[in-house]
Every structure is written in C-alpha cells, then in structure tokens.
Amino acid sequence: MIKFWSYDKEFKKYKNSILKKVHITLKKGNIFFGDQLKTFEKNFVKKYGSKYGIAVGSGTDALLISLKSLNLKPGDEVITAANTAIPTISAIINAGGVPKLADIGEDYLIDAEKIKSLITKKTKVIIPVHLYGQMCEMDKIQKIAKKNNLTIIEDCAQSQGAKYKNKFSGTIGRFGCFSFYPTKILGAYGDGGFILTNDKNSYEKIKRLRFYGIETLRKNKFKNKYYANENGYNSRLDEIQASILNFKLKKVDNFINKRRNLANYYLKSLKSLNLKLPEENLNCKHVYHLFTIYHPKGELIKKRLKNLKIETRKIYPYPIHKMKAYSRIIKNKNNLKISEIKAKGILCLPLYPELAKKEIDKICYNLKKITKYLN
C-alpha cells in the first residue's frame, strides 16, 4: 500500500530526538506559554524575515483571529478563492464577514482580474490562498488592495517557505496565516498555527485575542493581571507541540528541498502523459505541499489507483459554493466555472519528504497504463 501521506517513516527517523525534546519539556513543568513557545515564535519570525508573530491553536484560528482584529461590521465582504479549503470560509463567517468568491486561473490560484469585478463599497479584505504550495500573483493583488483600501490576509496554510519575487509567503499582506496540521510543510504532532505581521498594533491586538483578550502590553498597568481588555479566544500552541516544531523548524528547508526533488522526479516521469502537471510560475518558488495532476476523468483514475493500492486525494472535490453550508451565502455562483471544472478532475498524488523514489516509480508506471486508454 502506498499511503497518500504517512507519519510513520518520519517518526521512525526522528523518534529519539522528538521523544527527548518532549521529555525535557514535560520535566520543566510548563504546559503553556513557556520557553519552547518563546523560542519557536522568535525563530519562526526571524526565519521568514517578518517583524512580529504569534503562535495559535490552528491555521483556522490564525485566519479567524487575523480577521477578528479588523473589527468587521455586519455585511463587510471578504474576497477569496472559490477552490479554497473550508476553514478559509468558516473563518470569514465566524469573524462576521461575508465571503465573496473569485474564480481561479489555470494554475489553480485566485485570478487577480476576477477580484476586481467583485469589489463593492462593502469589500474590506482579500484573502489570497497560496494553494498547493505556490503563491498567488501578489503584485497585482497588492495593487488592487492599495487602490481600494483593502487589507490583505495571506492564507499560507499550504505554502510555508514558498516565495514570490524573493519574498516569503506570509510577509506581504497585513497578516500571513500558517497551519501546522500534521500533513503540512511543517507539521506538528497535533494542531497548531501561526500569524506573521509587520504591523505593531496588529501584533498587539492578535496577541490579546489569542488568549481571552488578556492584556499583554508591557507598558499597560494590567499586563498579565488576568484583565480582559477586549473579548478574545482561547487559541494556544502548547509547549509539547512547540518543542516538536522547534526541532522540525531547523529541518524545514531540507523538507522543502526533498519535496521539490520528488516533485521534479514526478514531473520527468509523467511528462509525456495526457495529464495536466503542476507548473512553477515565473518568479515563484513552489514548495509542493501537494502534487496535483488534472484529467477530466480524474475520478476514474483515482478509483483505478486505489484498486492498485495507491492512495490519492481530491483536494478539493467541491468548490465552496457547491456545498450546502455555503451555497445560499454565495451570491455570484455563475462566474466560478474554472473552479468547478478543476474540482471535477483534480487529483493529488502522494508527496512527502520520506516518500521513496521507487514508490513514485510504481505510481507513474501505473498512471501510464491507466491513462493510455483515456481520452
């Protein structure tokens, strides 16, 4: 069986170091807001060249807290991509916003031109989702945001370490929101998330919001006095997860190199097949969180690979406006055709740092056989 994703091999490789880290952390007796968290926040911010950052409980919380910090008014609109993960949309709605969906381009990323036509007087935010490991066209999106006085929140859940014109994912918008869900580029052994920002006031606000709204400002007389300055949440990254992430953060560039290497191996092996393969856009560094192939008969390919004990996933099988939870909220459903077409045929192949090349050989060999008779 070739699993779509697996932690077994990673854990086997790093078991001693990870268990040692966890043991030391537990012996210290701090479960929350200790040295591990402080070190992780400092190193994450430094690594990606941002000014400030806080760790939170998940990528969903990173988006929710960033959005909440903007104090959206009823009816305020937030534009994002129709093919995003559900949490991008739930965060918008839970923060009091109204999601507006833009269609995507051939590269599966939000089409900047389509954003323009969605802007109204109520639009406040754009959330470009750097899906599958590649960043959106940020120059164009920044231009639109500037012209219309909109805030950009980057959804970087799938793009840690990716670059656009030499800038890291999450450092261009007001906020960059990351996920440490185990399958991600930097995966915790549980949930976790992060918010990067270069704006001091925003940093102070999101720091309060992640912990019940308690004041943490150094100069404030209520600092750490269990005094809520505003209504907030409980979204903490615990010391155990922080200790594992500290260990793995040092290796994350290596993880990305391995992913890029394996993606290139796939690309070479599949290039003559009747499949749409992922492409690295000009001026971008793709980190291949996912390796996508597209064929109108993607569903059939998935079934056949499953029979051969090769696991693949459709990420995502339904665009947001096609789901019951959101179909009534989304008003502009007619202009989302590319998202609909892509959702039907998209398929993600196994790709993670420990995947063996001989496993890729097996996947590609079978894909060749399967696609030979598909038109």
Ligand X SMILES: Cc1ncc(COP(=O)(O)O)c(C=O)c1O
**Shortest reach from residue 297's CB to ligand X, in Å:** 25
CA distance 261 to 263: 5
Query: Going by C-beta distance under 8 Å and a sequence separation of 6 or more, which residues neighbour residue 184?
Result: 59, 157, 158, 160, 178, 289
**Shortest reach from residue 220's CB to ligand X, in Å:** 30
CA distance 305 to 316: 18
Q: Rank residues 25 and 179 by Cβ distance to ligand X and give the closer one.
A: 179
For ligand X, the binding residue among 25, 36, 69, 88 (CB under 6 A) is 88
Q: Please report which helix (H) or strand (E) contains residue 111, including its range.
A: none
Contact assessment for residue 186 and residue 248, using Cβ atoms and an 8 Å cutoff:
yes
292 belongs to the binding site for ligand X (CB under 6 A): no
Q: Rank residues 88 and 123 by Cβ distance to ligand X and give the closer one.
A: 88
For ligand X, the binding residue among 155, 204, 238, 239 (CB under 6 A) is 155
| Site for ligand X, residues 271 to 290, rule: CB under 6 A | none
Q: Rank residues 70 and 136 by Cβ distance to ligand X and give the closer one.
A: 136
Q: Rank residues 82 and 85 by Cβ distance to ligand X and give the closer one.
A: 85
Q: Rank residues 153 and 301 by Cβ distance to ligand X and give the closer one.
A: 153
Q: Which DSSP letter does residue 333 get?
A: G
80 belongs to the binding site for ligand X (CB under 6 A): no
Taking CB under 6 A as the binding criterion, the range among 104-112, 153-161, 168-176, 222-230 that sits at the site for ligand X is 153-161
**Shortest reach from residue 305's CB to ligand X, in Å:** 22
CA distance 187 to 197: 21
Q: How many residues does the chain have?
A: 375
Q: Rank residues 89 and 150 by Cβ distance to ligand X and give the closer one.
A: 89
For ligand X, the binding residue among 95, 102, 118, 129 (CB under 6 A) is 129
CA distance 90 to 97: 10
For ligand X, the binding residue among 21, 50, 55, 59 (CB under 6 A) is 59
Q: Rank residues 110 and 118 by Cβ distance to ligand X and give the closer one.
A: 110
84 belongs to the binding site for ligand X (CB under 6 A): yes
Dig out the tokens for 46 from the structure.
């430094």
Query: Going by C-beta distance under 8 Å and a sequence separation of 6 or more, which residues neighbour residue 169?
Result: 48, 130, 135, 154, 156, 159, 160, 161, 162, 163, 176
Q: Rank residues 72 and 136 by Cβ distance to ligand X and give the closer one.
A: 136
Phi/psi region, residue 312 (left: phi>0; alpha: psi -120 to 50; beta: rest), is beta
For ligand X, the binding residue among 69, 171, 179, 292 (CB under 6 A) is 179
350 belongs to the binding site for ligand X (CB under 6 A): no
* Residues 173, 285, 70: CA angle, nearest 5 degrees: 15
Q: How many residues bind ligand X (CB under 6 A)?
A: 15
181 belongs to the binding site for ligand X (CB under 6 A): yes
SS3 content of the chain, % helix, strand, coil (to 5): 40, 15, 40
160 belongs to the binding site for ligand X (CB under 6 A): no
DSSP string, 191-236: --EEEEES-HHHHHHHHHHTBTTB---TTSTTTTSS-BSS---B--
Residues that bind ligand X (CB under 6 A): 58-60, 84-85, 87-88, 129, 155, 157-158, 179, 181, 191, 193
